Structure 1
Amino acid sequence: MAHAAPAHQATEVAQLAEFVASADHRNMSDAAREELKKRILDSIGVAIGALDGKPIGYIRTHQEDFGGNPLCTLIGGGKTAPDRAAFYNGALVRYLDFMDSYLAKGETCHQSDNLGAVLAAAEYANQDGDVLLSALAVAYQVQGRLCDVAPVRAKGFDHTVQGAYAVAAGVARALGLDAVKTANAIAISGTSNNALRVTRTGALSHWKGLAYPHTAFIGTHAAFLAYRGITGPAEVFEGNKGFKEAIAGPFEIDWRKEDLENVRKSIIKRYNAEIHSQSSIEGAIELQAAKGFNGSDIERLDIEIFDVAYHIIGGGEEGDKTIIRNKEEADHSLQYMVAVALLDGNVLPAQYEQERIVRADVQDLLHRVKVRPKQEYTDRFPGEVVTTLTFTLKDGSQHRITKTDYEGFHTRPMGWETVIAKFTGLATPFTSEKVRDQIVDAVRNLEHIRVSELTAILADLKA
């Protein structure tokens, strides 16, 4: 059972709030700061690339119908209230499932999910790029560390649960709230955002891509309530029926010893595919190129992989992954993603067009892919993401490849050239070359501009 802190001891959320309120990106290593900027550019590119997504259109209609005081910029044009901007821009970052990821032993999350909310709050408060970097760095740190020590997936809750604390922390820092108001913001958001994992199991819906944007919407709202003076449960972590007792179980983080380096452990995706699939996709494409076979030559593909990948995308505890009818199911099926990579040579947004998903060639090949977990590979996760692919061809020959990482994994970080190339590929259909150059320049020089300068560019992508 959880126990309240003694009267003379600060509550755990108060200790976290002291860390958040004092967070400063200038205390980060140069390497961590550069990695954070890469993730901002990557997230903006992914967001722009999602502008024509069907659910994005639904949300845009919803925003226009309900309105909102025009205080914060929507990527692609228009303005609305901060919490609604957090939701819309967050949905853009999340929809393609091409954003960054973080792997903990018992949890997976996407820390770039916080960008929409932090950007809106920083714009609202007329902050400079220094504050934006500090606020986003703290959101990355809080979310990553909570995923490390307080995983909730096995208990039936979604990774957005830890995100509720992270997004409120990032927004509070972007608004410049003091430690008391920051604690209230985090407490309100954490208490009210405990989502179910069913979001990502069985038949998948649009909500898979909108669950965190909704958390960002509520977390931003919570931070603004705290900004006005509303208080939240001071013992949200350790109290009677608080987070530890009701959901996570016991854990400890000494926030006085935390830094802002967690971003260096996050991963930029090379392929538009669920994060646990990346090493398998890279391995499949490499081996195919080396041996010269094509998709129609394959009789069977056996994939051995760590258990998290098997359970989430391979057909384990989160459901059959060979029934693929839409984007949401396709981008969480290892069988589909590897099959379409072998047929098309890549996995990008085009591979999730409805016509591509239902085509006979990929529907046939994905049923020839068999996935099973391997304990040795599970034991090596998350330091390594080991997978072995064994191809049996119709002529009876076999070919095998084992991968332990991939480009973008923290052991093989993506360089600026690759990040910019990915950004360019995603943004080109929606932007002018001049705007793309301006975005890259603004992100690489965030310390020297105001946030409003960046959002002005994002508001007029064809300028």
Structure 2
Amino acid sequence: MTEVQDLARFVADASAARLDTETVEQLKIRVLDTLGVAIGALDAEPLVRIRGLVDDLGGSPVSTLIGGGRTAPDRAAFFNSALSRYLDFMDSYLAKGETNHPSDNLGAVLAAAESAEASGAELLTALAVAYQVHTRLSDVAPVRAKGFDHTTQGAYAAAAGAAKALRLDEQQIANAVSIASTANVALRVTRTGNLSHWKGLAYPHVSKEGTFAALLASRGITGPEAVFEGNKGFKDSIAGPFEIDWSAEPLDSVRRTIIKKHNAEIHSQSALDAALDIRAQRGFRVDDVATVTLRTFDVAFSIIGGGEEGDKRTVRTKEEADHSLPWMIAAVLVDGELTPRQYAPERILAPDVQSLMSRVRIFPDDAFSDRFPAHMPAELVVTLRDGTVLTAARDSYQGFHDDPLSWEGARAKFDALTSPFADAALRDEIAGVVRDLEHRRVAELTDALARVSITRS
């Protein structure tokens, strides 16, 4: 058997019976969190444009679009994934050499599961599969340092999740995974320098292509048999050697993911908590800040702090703001929060935040780097104009491994994000279906999601 066939057997053998109680609970928390983030982005300008394109293109009305309407499964996967990705407020997985967002796979799994008239238990199982594939490939085959994007591993995960939701057989699953992964090797330039809309759309593209690959495989279309180990395959061309014994893999890696507290890139979360701590200290006045200095771990510095992925002091758009640690620290020190409200164009460009951002300095710390990803160390020092020095340090935040988000916390976040688009009764209905998802049908969930308003009330 080839390695992709080993992976396909793991996917085919996955079942709801293998999901323990805690794993099911964490999957449902991720579903509610991801749907809340998606609904909260319905009126974002890029998503309005994408929705218009989807409507213009049409498509067989098989899978539901959040906010109403139906289209082909691959297009629904793209749109719904774009919604859940746009705010950059979803879950994350931290490996030493890679960071990804496994909840990005929900759009593909949901569209495929609805098209197959699947049960909620089948959706949860397919999502667990996508989480396992995504996280394990990130553990052993990171690609960021080689110039490739984390969506590269995501192509394997999205196709595996969609194929499982479609109830494909073992050989069809192998073909779906090999087609999607061969065709979607992505460049890291997506997240370096001045950022574009594609930062938030690269994974929705993978969701679409993973779903389409699964649909192709369902009609007998084949892909490369040795996508992992073959001549010019993934190992040979990109990842280098690695091993995963898929026959020994569980389905519980969702429990190793974390959920964002702040509407910001994941590696910023502890630093932003430190900024809140500074803001609460006696004597702090934002108008009196002379300098701000942050020490943090190398991954945070490299990606969002002005390190190897580019200077982060040119901030003009939402995409640039939520990947600029200087801007985000400044925003929290000024406003005392970082939510979708702070990403309004006029707030991003406001002189108070832009001026304070210019006084933020960020440095990597080797000792902090050695503690990542088990911890997210950050030490913030704010010096006031009169010489007063205020300090705060954090190792984690609410939503990290040592303080995971509860169902109640997820529901509070869901309500805060969705209340402009859904009344209390509809919010209760959506949350109620998710809470009992293993005993419900996917159609019950998509019916409720179709009744969300696409405009704010």
Partner deviation per Cα, 1:358-385 (whole Å, 9 max, x = no partner): 1000000011110010011111110011
Asked if residue 174 in structure 1 is aligned to residue 168 in structure 2, the reply is no
- Cα distance, 1:292–1:264 mapped onto 2, change above 3 Å: farther
SS at match of 2:128: helix
Q: Which residue of 1 aligns with 2:345?
A: 354
On the 8 A contact 2:279/2:336 being kept in 1, the answer is no
Amino acid at match of 1:58: R
Partner Cα distance (1:249, 1:462) in 2: 47
Structure 1's unaligned 5+ residue stretches are 1-9
Partner deviation per Cα, 1:276-302 (whole Å, 9 max, x = no partner): 000000111023213351321211111
Q: Which residue of 2 aligns with 1:147?
A: 138
Asked if residue 184 in structure 1 is aligned to residue 175 in structure 2, the reply is yes
| Paired residues for 1:71-86 under 5 Å | 71-86=62-77
On the 8 A contact 2:313/2:324 being kept in 1, the answer is yes
SS at match of 1:290: coil
Q: Which residue of 1 aligns with 2:268?
A: 277
Partner Cα distance (1:461, 1:210) in 2: 22
Q: Which residue of 1 aligns with 2:10?
A: 19
Q: Which residue of 1 aligns with 2:198?
A: 207
Partner Cα distance (2:16, 2:197) in 1: 35
Structure 2's unaligned 5+ residue stretches are none
Cα drift, residue 449 of structure 1: 0.8
Partner Cα distance (2:440, 2:19) in 1: 19
Cα drift, residue 462 of structure 1: 5.4
Q: 1:425 aligns with which of 400, 408, 416?
A: 416
Cα drift, residue 36 of structure 1: 0.9
Asked if residue 100 in structure 1 is aligned to residue 91 in structure 2, the reply is yes
On the 8 A contact 2:87/2:263 being kept in 1, the answer is yes
Q: 1:119 aligns with which of 110, 126, 136?
A: 110
Cα drift, residue 29 of structure 1: 2.6
Partner deviation per Cα, 1:329-357 (whole Å, 9 max, x = no partner): 00000001111011111100010110001
Q: 1:110 aligns with which of 101, 104, 129?
A: 101
Partner Cα distance (1:66, 1:39) in 2: 31
| Paired residues for 1:36-51 under 5 Å | 36-51=27-42
Q: 1:343 aligns with which of 296, 312, 334?
A: 334
Cα drift, residue 31 of structure 1: 1.5
On the 8 A contact 1:294/1:342 being kept in 2, the answer is no
SS at match of 1:92: helix
Q: Please identify, of 330-339 and 393-402, the stretch whose mean Cα deviation from structure 2 is larger.
A: 393-402
On the 8 A contact 2:281/2:390 being kept in 1, the answer is no
Asked if residue 457 in structure 1 is aligned to residue 448 in structure 2, the reply is yes
Q: 1:374 aligns with which of 365, 373, 386?
A: 365
Partner Cα distance (2:32, 2:82) in 1: 16
| Paired residues for 1:325-340 under 5 Å | 325-340=316-331
SS at match of 1:402: strand
Q: Which residue of 2 aligns with 1:131?
A: 122
Q: 1:409 aligns with which of 391, 400, 405?
A: 400
| Paired residues for 1:234-245 under 5 Å | 234-245=225-236
Cα drift, residue 399 of structure 1: 1.6
Partner deviation per Cα, 1:146-177 (whole Å, 9 max, x = no partner): 01110001111000000000000000110111
The Cα RMSD (Å) is 1.0
- Number of equivalenced pairs: 454
Asked if residue 52 in structure 1 is aligned to residue 24 in structure 2, the reply is no
| Paired residues for 1:188-337 under 5 Å | 188-337=179-328
TM-score by length of 1: 0.97
Partner Cα distance (1:444, 1:388) in 2: 38
Partner deviation per Cα, 1:105-138 (whole Å, 9 max, x = no partner): 0001000100011000000000000100000001
Q: Which residue of 1 aligns with 2:379?
A: 388
Q: 2:432 aligns with which of 441, 444, 448?
A: 441
Amino acid at match of 1:341: V
Partner Cα distance (1:297, 1:259) in 2: 53
SS at match of 1:304: strand
Partner Cα distance (1:265, 1:336) in 2: 29
On the 8 A contact 2:303/2:309 being kept in 1, the answer is yes
Partner Cα distance (2:337, 2:217) in 1: 46
Partner Cα distance (1:239, 1:134) in 2: 29
Where does structure 1 differ by over 2 angstroms across 4 or more consecutive aligned residues? Answer: none
